[in-house]
Structure formats: C-alpha cells, structure tokens
C-alpha cells in the first residue's frame, strides 16, 4: 500500500457502490446494507467451489438481529469508554482542586476570562494583566487567539465557579472517545478476514479485529497520559484543540471534506498556532485525495494547506497586535535570531543550527523520546505525523524551559495527531502481518486493562492525594475571612478560590496596594524566586499601613488599615510596558519536574 494513502477509508461516500455491494453509512464496518436491512448478501462462489446453499428467510432475519445486537453492544462499549474518560479526567481535576494544586496561573486566568465572556465582555484577567504589567482593560485576545473559550460562557450562567471549567474540559476530552473509535474503524476497515469462518467475525458481522481495534483505541485515548496531565494541571485552551483536531482528522478519513474543512476552521480558534496544524493536514489530505481520485478532496486539501498558515500569520502579525498584544512578546527563539526575520536569515545561511538548537540541552531529546516512545514510534509510520511537526518544532527550538518537560498541557495538543498516526500505522501493519497483530492486540488489551487498574489505585485510592498540605489548607481558611468585592493580592495557590467574589490578583514582588494580602511565609510560591523574598514582602507591608489579622501554618492574612505610601508599589497604567516572566533556573532540568 502506498504510504501516503495509509488509512483512507475504503468505503466510498454514501450512496456509491463498492464491489457491487452498497454499504450503509454509520453501520458496522464491512456489513452490506442488505444484511442491515434484514436480508443476506453473499459473494459469488468461485467456479471450483460448490454452489452455496440458499439463504432462508429465517437465516436472514437471524443475521439482521445479530447486526442490530452487535451495533447495540458496540454503542454500549463506546458509552462506557466515554464515561470512563470523563470520570477519570473529572476526578483528576477535582482532586487537584481539593488538594489545592490548581492555581491562579492558569485556572484563575481562564476563570476570569470566561466569566467576562459570560457578562458579554471581552475576556480580561486581572491576574494576568497586573502580574505581567499589561495596561488596564487589556483583553486576553491580544495575548493568545482563543475565541473558542466564549463557547463556555453559558456554563457560568448555571454555576459561577472555576470548577465548571474542570467539568467542561473533562467533557470535551471525553467527547473524543467515539471519534477515536471511528478513526480506528477507518484504519482497520479492510482488516477483516475475507472468510466465512465463524471465529473471524463478531456476531453481527463486524470483524473481531475491527471491534478490538476500536475498543482498544478508545481505552488508550481515554487513559492517555497527555489528557491525564492536562486534567491534573487544571483547565487550558487545549480542551478545545483535542476534540477539534480529532473531528478534523476523522472527517478527512471518511472523505467528508466539507465537514473536515469546518472542523479545521474551528481548530484555528483554539490557539493561534493551530493554523500550522491545519496547513499540514491540508497537505496530507490533498495528496491522499489525489491518489484516490477525489477532486473535491484535493481542492479542499490545497485550500487548507494555504489557508491554515495564512490564518496563523494574520492572527500573529495583525490581530494580536490590534488587540494590544506587544510585538514579539512570546518570541522564545533567541538562539535562532532576535526576531522571525533574523531567525530565517540565520537558518538559511546555517541550516545546521536547527539541529544544534533542537538537541541542546539534551532534555529536549528526552522529550522527543518520551513522546514518541510511549507509542512505540508508531506515529512515524504515517503521513499524519507531519501535523505534529510544527508543534514539536515550537518546543525543541524554544529557549523557554517551560516547553521542554512532559508534565504540562503541551503534550495534549499532540495526542490526537500521534494516536491517529499510530492507528494508521497499525492498520497498515495488520494488512501486512495479520497474525502478528492478533497477538499484539491481546497483549495490548491486557496491558491497557492493567494500566487502568493501576491508575485507579495510584491516583484515586490514596487518601493523601485528595488532601491539601497544611499550609495550603490554611490559605483556603483565611480566604473565607476576606469580604466579597474586596481587592486582594493572593498567593497563587489560593487565587482561584477568590476569583468568583473578589477582585483578585496574585501576590508578587511588586506591591499593588490591595485591601487584603494573603501569602505564605513558609515555602516558596510562584512567582517569587525565594522564600526570603516573600518574607521581605510581608515585612514591608507590615511597616507601611498593613495589619496582620490572621496567621496559621505559615500563612498570613494582612489588611490595609492605613493609607500610607508603600515602597515599590506600582499599578499598571495606560502606558505600562508588559514584562515577561523570569523562569527559575530549576525549570526544564527534568522531563518530570515543574
């Protein structure tokens, strides 16, 4: 099979004929429409074979019942896997909330932004704006292009709480389960044995290998480490990127080119760099459609290949600056050049610099080994892997150490692409080595089931995983003493518990003059660079108009009782110049440490 056409569905668009048998849209793979309607379809027997016995009406009815029963069982398994994904992701998110691992960066920022959408305002976040010195009223649309977040605004009309985002992200991740199962069916659509042996097919006519591939793919997706990491870390815009990417890929495999283009357009609203993924998808789609003789698919692919990067360039070059985003604020590629133009000139003159930067430091190599090795390098066997190249390049060429570990949300952007590419490779390998695949499927199912049990024991059964440390619990108790509507500078850890009822920013090295300040003086907290810096911050406030009203387990609550000048106090104004975060030296030293 030609590599570039891997995993294109062998079924033609609905209503067309394939080998003299019409296939019903949405039915079990490989089941003729006649059988779904209650009849039975038989292929003409070879000349050397005895004539087949006529199919009785009773047999046809039994076959139809079997098809319906198999379809019902398949849907039930799909529902169970979807529910599993939702419950696991939701439990991880709520566990992190209970243990106070969800912080102002990023849950508090997204909570403030979506709450603004719910009040029909631009998405603004005082936590983001004040800490990074953006001018008052700065919209997060000038920071990242994420208009898809507005779709969550109605949820705040039902429950005005940051935890609604935890639920929403779990639901969006879970929505990918049935899509992944359809992708697996596309990839193994031609995998069923062409025989009438009873052990070759499920009771309803669907080949066992297709059924197993769909179920195993759904399970692997549902318990995939990128989704679990994202759920553990709280909400992020990747929540939309995951299902949008899956739907774009699945519709492409199904030859539903218009729908694929629509999902590609929606994917561009999840984050500004998703246009590069859309461009790579369009290139792969155009080549596959050309090989298959689908003119409409080829035209759609070419349009996406050109339109995706163009949208990305327009958003970064025009829209973000128009919304107040500072030029070059997120340029993290100083090793290549001071700006995109300088980087391009440098790379054209010395192309080997790309490899040099990509492997320095070596933790970048470890990141690639982990991302691809956890899927046994299978994604490399499919052209769909090209969609992951822009996202991987952004990380390995970056100077920002936050991009190198594999414990943040960045890997979830890759998960739909890598899993789809792995399924395509497996589908091709099965066609070449079916016996080997059968052994692999049994082993894989056993390992995935064992992983599910181990995951439950490790993450959810341990009581300590659901309990916040004493210093963080004391912060939550102190937050209850702060009145509604007050201005607050809060420890990053407790900020999300105040966003719904106060005007909160995170406490940092610069005093902001808030009515209340809640901070730890034992144990370093973001964004302070040392514990001593936190302690000096509290001491300065106590000497300049603040009174300590509460203290426990290393946490202090201060109230401003006198309006006297505070040394170093600064509140961002209209002429504020945004500043970038200083990354601590220990970040990026390991794949698994924040």
Omega cis (within 30) before 430:
no
Q: pLDDT for 164-210, tens place per residue?
A: 999 999 999 999 999 999 999 999 986 554 433 444 455 455 788 88
Helix (H) or strand (E) holding 506: strand 503-506
Q: Which residues contact 446 (CB under 8 A, 6 or more apart)?
A: none
- Cα–Cα distance for residue pair 538/527, rounded to 1 Å: 15
Regions of the chain with pLDDT less than 70:
1-60, 62-63, 190-205, 436-462, 594
Using a 10 angstrom Cβ sphere, with 0-12 exposed, 13-18 middle and 19 or more buried, the burial of residue 485 is: exposed
Which two three-digit tokens encode residue 591? 């794949």
Q: How far apart are CA 537 and CA 297, in angstroms?
A: 61
The crossing angle, in degrees rounded to 10, of helices 238-253 and 176-187 is 30
Q: Residues 544, 567: contact at Cβ < 8 Å?
A: yes
The answer to whether 77 and 215 have CB atoms below 8 angstroms apart is yes
The whole model's pTM is what? 0.87
Q: Using an 8 Å Cβ cutoff, are 395 and 405 in contact?
A: no
For 69, residues 6+ apart whose C-beta sits below 8 A from its C-beta are: 203, 204
CA-wise closest residue to 114 among 70, 77, 167, 72: 167
Question: Among 271, 280, 283, which residue's Cα sits nearest to residue 312?
Answer: 271
**The two structure tokens encoding residue 413:** 């952007």
Contact 558, 538 (CB under 8 A): yes
**What DSSP character marks residue 270?**
T
Q: What pLDDT, on a 0 to 100 scale, did the predictor assign at position 23?
A: 35
Tokens 């309990």 found at: 467
């Amino acid at each position: 099979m030609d590599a570039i056409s891997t995993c294109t569905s062998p079924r033609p668009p609905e209503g067309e004929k394939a080998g003299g048998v019409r296939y019903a849209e949405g039915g079990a793979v490989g089941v003729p429409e006649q059988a779904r309607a209650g009849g039975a379809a038989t292929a003409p027997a070879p000349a050397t074979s005895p004539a087949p016995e006529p199919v009785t009406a009773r047999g046809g009815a039994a076959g139809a019942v079997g098809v319906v029963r198999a379809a019902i069982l398949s849907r039930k398994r799909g529902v169970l896997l979807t529910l599993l994904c939702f419950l696991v992701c939701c439990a991880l998110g709520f566990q992190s909330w209970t243990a106070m691992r969800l912080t102002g960066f990023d849950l508090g920022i997204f909570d403030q932004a979506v709450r603004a959408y719910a009040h029909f305002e631009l998405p603004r976040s005082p936590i983001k704006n004040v800490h990074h010195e953006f001018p008052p009223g700065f919209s997060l649309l000038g920071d990242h292009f994420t208009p898809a977040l507005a779709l969550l605004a109605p949820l705040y009309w039902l429950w005005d709480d940051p935890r609604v985002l935890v639920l929403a992200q779990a639901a969006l991740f879970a929505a990918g389960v049935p899509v992944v199962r359809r992708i697996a069916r596309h990839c193994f659509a031609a995998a069923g044995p062409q025989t009438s042996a009873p052990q070759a097919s499920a009771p309803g006519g669907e080949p066992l290998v297709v059924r197993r591939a769909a179920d195993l793919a759904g399970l692997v997706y549902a318990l995939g480490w990128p989704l679990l990491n994202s759920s553990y870390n709280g909400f992020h815009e990747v929540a939309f990127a995951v299902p949008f990417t899956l739907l774009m890929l699945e519709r492409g495999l199904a030859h539903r080119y218009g729908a694929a283009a629509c999902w590609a357009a929606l994917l561009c609203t999840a984050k500004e760099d998703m246009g590069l993924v859309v461009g790579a998808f369009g290139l792969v789609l155009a080549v596959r459609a050309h090989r298959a003789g689908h003119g409409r698919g080829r035209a759609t692919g070419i349009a996406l290949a050109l339109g995706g990067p163009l949208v990305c360039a327009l958003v970064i070059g025009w829209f973000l600056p128009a919304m107040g985003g500072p030029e070059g604020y997120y340029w993290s590629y100083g090793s290549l050049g001071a700006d995109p133009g300088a980087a391009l000139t440098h790379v054209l003159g010395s192309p080997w610099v790309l490899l040099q930067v990509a492997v320095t430091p070596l933790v970048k190599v470890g990141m690639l080994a982990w991302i691809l090795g956890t899927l046994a390098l299978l994604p490399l066997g499919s052209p769909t892997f090209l969609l992951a190249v822009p996202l991987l390049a952004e990380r390995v060429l970056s100077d920002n150490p936050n991009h190198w570990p594999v414990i943040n949300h960045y890997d979830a952007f890759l998960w739909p692409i890598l899993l789809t590419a792995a399924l395509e490779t497996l589908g091709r390998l099965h066609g070449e080595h079916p016996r080997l695949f059968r052994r692999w499927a049994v082993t894989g199912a056993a390992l995935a089931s064992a992983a599910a049990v181990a995951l439950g024991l490790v993450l959810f059964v341990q009581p300590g995983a659901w309990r916040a440390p004493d210093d963080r619990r004391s912060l939550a108790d102190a937050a209850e003493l702060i009145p509604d509507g007050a201005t607050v500078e809060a420890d990053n850890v407790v900020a999300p518990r105040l966003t719904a009822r106060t005007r909160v920013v995170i406490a940092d090295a610069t005093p902001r003059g808030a009515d209340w300040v809640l901070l730890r003086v034992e144990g370093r907290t973001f964004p302070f660079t040392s514990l001593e810096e936190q302690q000096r911050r509290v001491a300065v406030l106590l000497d300049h108009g603040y009174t300590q009203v509460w203290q426990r387990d290393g946490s202090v609550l201060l109230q401003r009782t006198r309006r006297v000048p505070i040394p170093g106090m600064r509140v961002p104004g209209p002429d504020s110049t945004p500043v970038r975060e200083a990354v601590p030296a220990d970040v990026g030293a390991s794949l698994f440490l924040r």
